[in-house]
Copies of this chain bind each other. A is one copy, B any other.
Amino acid sequence: MRRLTLEQAEQLAQAILRRHGFSEAYVRAIGATVLAGERDGCASHGLWRLLGIIKTLKAGKVEPCAEPQVIDQAPGLVRVEAHGGFSQLAFAAGLPLLAAKARANGIAALAINRCVHFSALWVELEALTELGLVALACNPTQAYVAPAGGSRPLFGTNPIAFGWPRVDQPPFIFDFATSAIARGDIELHRRSGQALPTGWGLDRHGQPCSDAAEVLDHGAMLTFGGHKGSALAAMVELIAGPLIGDLTSAESLAFDEGRQGLPYHGELLIALDPQRFLGEQATQHLARAEALFAAIQGQGARLPAQRRYAARARSLEQGVEIPQALYDELRALLD
């Protein structure tokens, strides 16, 4: 393992992005995102992502200097045209107008169009909860997941995330794939030759399958929670696809043309302002939310992001550790 301070980790990320021709705005925005993932113990959204980012760039599937364009679509709607750039800059560009609209109207939505996407949604939700807003976000990915009762890939792993601001506490945030498990976890089973647990995947004939390679190469992943998870995955396809004039996961996979690049699609965020909902009673009612959190933790259950916040606290003190092989691969990207 190789230990890095957070500053070293960010500098490494920025140097790689700069070396490959990303504009300074992307260098900072993407660098901050992969650093946040690494810092919070989400290795799959950490420095490792730089490999996929550069691969996607080399495949000509992302614009390294695209300037996002903010469109004031309607009193409650912001649209950002990412013009094929990574989502981070598009989100940052749209955030101020989204927040202003949410504060003015009580609820507002931000649609990001034609972005390349690799980020966990919680990074964006933290930006919204820091502004005191409640937020929902989702996006399609690429078609790897079969609908419940089906047999072939159609949905993406379609994450849904939710954030709730807390006073003097990190926000209540969850962010999960609507697939039973992340694709990366099935990859790990392939590499180690382990059998998949029931409920993760189907073979090429649409039958339950414990062989990771078969599921990944010829079969389909499954949604979490059976038909309920499948319904949620379909909702994500609809509201972060056709509703915002952007690709479904099947269309996104087709756009990739087999290059295994990062997905290209849209994203929908909804922001709600508790102050507008509650007025003078906001403090009183937000305290009742705190009572709910206390009741969850009081019976030994965890809040969704608790493990991530613990990792963050550790990383802020001790820095992060990444495998030496990954460190070498990343250094090689600087040549």
Interface stretch of the complex, out of A3-11, A220-228, A257-265, A310-318 = A220-228
Contact of A289 among B238, B250, B292, B304 (CB under 8 A): B238
- Give the copy number: 2
Interface residue range, chain A:
35 or more
Known: A106-B109, A299-B150. A285 touches B243 (CB 8 A): yes
**Chain B residues with CB under 8 A of A45:** none
Contact of A107 among B109, B134, B164, B301 (CB under 8 A): B109
Contact of A238 among B148, B164, B243, B276 (CB under 8 A): B164
**Chain B residues with CB under 8 A of A248:** 288, 291-292
- CB neighbors of B among A138-180 (8 A): 146-152, 154, 162, 164, 172, 174, 176, 178
**Are the C-beta atoms of B228 and A301 separated by less than 8 Å?**
no
Contact of A149 among B74, B107, B281, B301 (CB under 8 A): B301
**Chain B residues with CB under 8 A of A242:** 285-286, 288-289, 292
* A189–chain B nearest beta-carbon distance, Å: 19
Q: Mark A268-298, 1 if CB is under 8 A from B, else 0.
A: 0010101011100100011011011001100
Indicate if A237 sits at the interface (CB-CB under 8 A). yes
A-B contacts, 27 of them at CB < 8 A, read A73-B106, A73-B276, A74-B276, A75-B106, A76-B107, A77-B105, A77-B106, A77-B107, A77-B276, A105-B105, A107-B270, A146-B299, A148-B301, A150-B296, A150-B301, A151-B299, A152-B299, A154-B296, A176-B228, A234-B292, A241-B292, A242-B286, A243-B285, A245-B285, A250-B292, A251-B288, A270-B270
